[in-house]
A = this chain, B = another copy of it.
């Protein structure tokens, strides 16, 4: 059995001057307080949350009706989890007191038998566990378990951990393989991975048993959700059989070859599968994870790490179907992809998982939030035509600017917890090897089999390709991921001496007796480059994207002549870079000579001559910075001539 990386990383302090420093400050200083106001319905022009009020009503401390989505409780859970990560890196007594207080409220909302869910407690007290498919009871429990484990890891306080342990035991009394229990699993996966976190925090074997059960039972015949529906609503007269792929119960998970259906669900499940596989040494389960990953990364992922090609069902569609303008690519789905990749890195160290994680993180995930931390995208398109967003039924879900908050508020708090726990993603360990998956400035204390290592990382990555890591004394290996984009061209020196390191499974591994202050200097190639989609991706044929390191770029109307659909980037055009510290929070801007189609006085819709083109200067900015300067067109792919 392998060790879980999370529990090994004692502490990661992210450097405020590095790339993520600003994001972390934003989340801590702006998003977490703002979310707290939202949860308490104190933001005048945002949709009401009613989340805290639901807990009060469930605790019998307020009158009223449940309001919100069936999964409203999870917003509070995600907030507590983000708070936990925030406290881990920077103590804040007032914030901790607020969290302690709300955890007490949660405790009072818990029912005598351990049950915790405000929707059922307030609105349908007699109908618990009658609709696992649609009503998110296990999902909400999962999020609160993640919060419990994180809060315990951050503060050492057991209160929420105990609450959720009681809930887990309650679930175990209701669901399981035994006669008389429901042979069920969640309609929205999440609890599987959360139970593994609870297992690490508590050591309670019930946690792992339940997680494994949910994974093993899923998709088995007779299918639980068919039985549940029949019990709830009677046998269907129309003979309809739910294909089940929307929520991944179309087949047993070990027989699934591709991520299907609702993308967040699919990736939470995959994460849980990888976690359980690692904990139990289940190779068939890990193989299934590898297959899901292979299909995803070779067939179903946008260049931005976005996943979920269709708004309908917020779902995966089919291989090579990656439309740019009608896309869904939910922020939460890319966050979930980071979870999955981290779980895979812990179970099966291979740099390609970190490559994918990095792509999702630096593009779709952080594009989900405005640079001021106040506005959020759910949908992360690769092409935006604002008029179509207003008028075309196929694109109405693609917003050209980030709105403040959403009634169904899954993405903003999910992003907050990802950013606040970024340190969890930077490192994983295996035996006495420390894997550096991401290059993030900061200092980390990491426990390995042989010793505790302290690593100090200095870098402006991805704005710059230079990374300096200062190690502490000890006998351990440092495995540095060589990003795929730099595989052909990178340099490593140890204390100034050039190292000709080979790359194994994506990492350059340096094993030695380190002395305090040993310096490893890495140099990656972050010159701007052109990226082409596979020719089977129909919308991108004849087009090119521009990237720099892990960061994908885009054209925005504010910097360029429109229509962006009329822009061409000649294959011969040089991509020039300049660092602009004051633009969009500090970016490397890329520019190139191109052409743009233009009005030539011919108003006809169809004509015998091609549209007129004129030279134009193209200005590319990082995708994650788009839509921070008002409404306008945007595109990631550009025609190449």
Q: Which of A509-558 contact B (CB under 8 A)?
A: 529-539, 541-542, 544
Whether the Cβ atoms of A611 and B532 lie closer than 8 Å is yes
Whether the Cβ atoms of A532 and B318 lie closer than 8 Å is no
Whether the Cβ atoms of B393 and A535 lie closer than 8 Å is no
Interface: A563 (CB within 8 A): yes
A323 CB contacts on chain B under 8 angstroms: 394
Query: Contact mask A592-625 → B, CB, 8 Å, 1/0?
Result: 0000011100111111111110000000000000
Interface: A301 (CB within 8 A): yes
A393 with B565, Cβ < 8 A, contacts A606-B531, A607-B532, A611-B532 known: no
A539 CB contacts on chain B under 8 angstroms: 565
Whether the Cβ atoms of A606 and B542 lie closer than 8 Å is no
Q: How far is the CB of A298 from chain B (nearest CB, A)?
A: 5
Whether the Cβ atoms of A639 and B392 lie closer than 8 Å is no
Interface: A388 (CB within 8 A): yes
Q: Identify which of B298, B321, B602 contacts A388 (C-beta below 8 A).
A: B321
Interface: A158 (CB within 8 A): no
Interface size for A (C-beta < 8 A) is 58
CA distance A544 to B318 in the complex (A): 28
Q: How far is the CB of A224 from chain B (nearest CB, A)?
A: 26
Whether the Cβ atoms of B541 and A392 lie closer than 8 Å is no
Whether the Cβ atoms of A605 and B299 lie closer than 8 Å is yes
CA distance A392 to B605 in the complex (A): 29
Whether the Cβ atoms of B310 and A392 lie closer than 8 Å is yes
A357 CB contacts on chain B under 8 angstroms: none
Q: How far is the CB of A498 from chain B (nearest CB, A)?
A: 26
Interface: A312 (CB within 8 A): yes
Q: How far is the CB of A274 from chain B (nearest CB, A)?
A: 21
Interface: A79 (CB within 8 A): no
Whether the Cβ atoms of A387 and B318 lie closer than 8 Å is yes
Interface: A297 (CB within 8 A): yes
Whether the Cβ atoms of B542 and A392 lie closer than 8 Å is no
Interface: A632 (CB within 8 A): no
A612 CB contacts on chain B under 8 angstroms: 535
Q: Identify which of B321, B392, B534 contacts A321 (C-beta below 8 A).
A: B392
A640 with B610, Cβ < 8 A, contacts A535-B598, A563-B535, A597-B541 known: yes
Most chain B Cβ neighbours within 10 Å, of A298, A299, A542, A563 = A542
Query: Contact mask A86-120 → B, CB, 8 Å, 1/0?
Result: 00000000000000000000000000000000000
Interface: A491 (CB within 8 A): no
Interface: A566 (CB within 8 A): yes
Interface: A127 (CB within 8 A): no
Q: How far is the CB of A407 from chain B (nearest CB, A)?
A: 16
Q: How far is the CB of A9 from chain B (nearest CB, A)?
A: 30
CA distance A581 to B565 in the complex (A): 41
With CB as the reference atom, state the residue of chain B lying closest to A396.
B312
Whether the Cβ atoms of A312 and B394 lie closer than 8 Å is yes
21 pairs from A and B in contact (CB 8 Å cutoff): A297-B605, A310-B393, A310-B394, A313-B393, A317-B392, A318-B392, A321-B387, A321-B391, A321-B392, A529-B608, A530-B608, A534-B603, A534-B604, A534-B605, A534-B606, A534-B611, A538-B565, A539-B565, A541-B563, A541-B597, A541-B611
Whether the Cβ atoms of A537 and B310 lie closer than 8 Å is no
Q: Which of A288-336 contact B (CB under 8 A)?
A: 297-299, 301, 303, 309-313, 317-318, 321, 323, 326
A542 CB contacts on chain B under 8 angstroms: 542, 568, 639
Q: How far is the CB of A354 from chain B (nearest CB, A)?
A: 16
CA distance A77 to B536 in the complex (A): 47
Whether the Cβ atoms of B534 and A563 lie closer than 8 Å is no
A534 CB contacts on chain B under 8 angstroms: 602-607, 611
Nearest 7 A/B pairs, CB to CB: A312-B393, A535-B611, A535-B597, A538-B565, A318-B391, A541-B565, A532-B610
Whether the Cβ atoms of A532 and B299 lie closer than 8 Å is no
Q: Identify which of B537, B606, B609, B610 contacts A605 (C-beta below 8 A).
A: B537
Query: Contact mask A60-87 → B, CB, 8 Å, 1/0?
Result: 0000000000000000000000000000
A598 CB contacts on chain B under 8 angstroms: 535
A391 CB contacts on chain B under 8 angstroms: 317-318, 321
With CB as the reference atom, state the residue of chain B lying closest to A542.
B639
Query: Contact mask A367-404 → B, CB, 8 Å, 1/0?
Result: 00000000000000000010110011110000000000
With CB as the reference atom, state the residue of chain B lying closest to A611.
B535
